[in-house]
Amino acid sequence: MDRSEFADRLDEELRTDDYADLDASANGLQVGHREGDVERVALAVDAAGATIHEAIERDADVLLVHHGLAWDGFDRLTDLHYDRVAPLVREDVALYVSHLPLDGHQELGNAAGVADVLGLRDREPFGAYGPEVVGTRGTAAEPYAVDDLAARLDRELDTETQVLDFGPDEIREVGIVTGSGVDWIEAAAAAGLDALVTGEGKQAAYHEARDRGVNVFLAGHYATETFGVRRVGDLLEEWGIETTYVEHPTGL
């Protein structure tokens, strides 16, 4: 597939332009020419030295990630920024990034993947971010006990979930905002949810969860955000593009 067609089709599928004024990440084709062919794509959560070099080793034409390199632009392309960009340019490996668009996508997104793991039904968009959303919500097919929901996340995401156990003992209504999503505790409480599942926490989240009476499950930033790039990989396979997943968990 032509690289420009590859980028344009993904931008349309992920609604990249709709998040352009909301996201600090420069989404879409972030490094590389639009000219050239795309036969093999490496998928990773993060664009970092380890994943960039692994994508090159696997002879990828594109590295597609959730967390890219440009956040509110580059002041200078020096030091660590240069060390990461230079191999991509030298080896002509493009970098395609989808941050918030891949969080909010209701089929391919990270939150949608976690919702599948938990078997949630009757799903709706959740996690307002300006006019868009960055998560999803749904109803458990059978109510979860707090420990059972944490155990399922641990098993399915290969993680160790920390629980702020301040909500109902029986969990039916669940909101999901992956990564760093504790800013939506208030929204979860306002929506009458029993639990919020996210990745990592902040000190203030403990008291807010307690005061608002919401269970919060912190299942790891990386662990909750592998779904999106993998699902985009499935889509690319349908387009006739070979994919490979570069697994590099952070434990965070």
- Rounded distance, CA 152 to CA 118, Å? 7
Known binding residues for a divalent metal cation are 66-67, 103, 221, 225
The sheet carrying 195-198 orders its strands as: 120-129, 132-145, 170-176, 195-198, 215-218, 162-164
Known binding residues are 66-67, 103, 221, 225
The kind and range of the H/E element at 41 are strand 40-46
Percent of the chain exceeding pLDDT 90 equals 98
Query: pTM for this one?
Result: 0.96
The kind and range of the H/E element at 138 are strand 132-145
Residues 87-93, mean pLDDT to the nearest whole number = 97
142-197 pLDDT tens trace: 999 999 999 999 999 999 999 999 999 999 999 999 999 999 999 999 999 999 99
Residue 74 has pLDDT above 80, yes or no: no
Residue 135, CB half-sphere, CA atoms under 13 Å: how many? Answer: 27
Q: Where are the alpha helices (DSSP H) in the chain?
A: 3-14, 49-57, 79-90, 100-104, 110-118, 146-157, 185-190, 203-212, 221-224, 227-238
Structure tokens that stand for 210 in this block: 């307690």
Structure tokens that stand for 20 in this block: 């352009």
Which domains are delineated in the chain?
3-98+225-244 (3.40.1390.30), 103-219 (3.40.1390.30)
Q: Answer whether 47's CB lies under 8 Å from 95's CB.
A: yes
Average pLDDT, the chain: 97
29-47 pLDDT tens trace: 999 999 999 999 999 999 9
Q: Answer whether 117's CB lies under 8 Å from 157's CB.
A: yes
Among candidates 16, 114, 98, 109, which has minimal Cα distance to 65?
Answer: 98
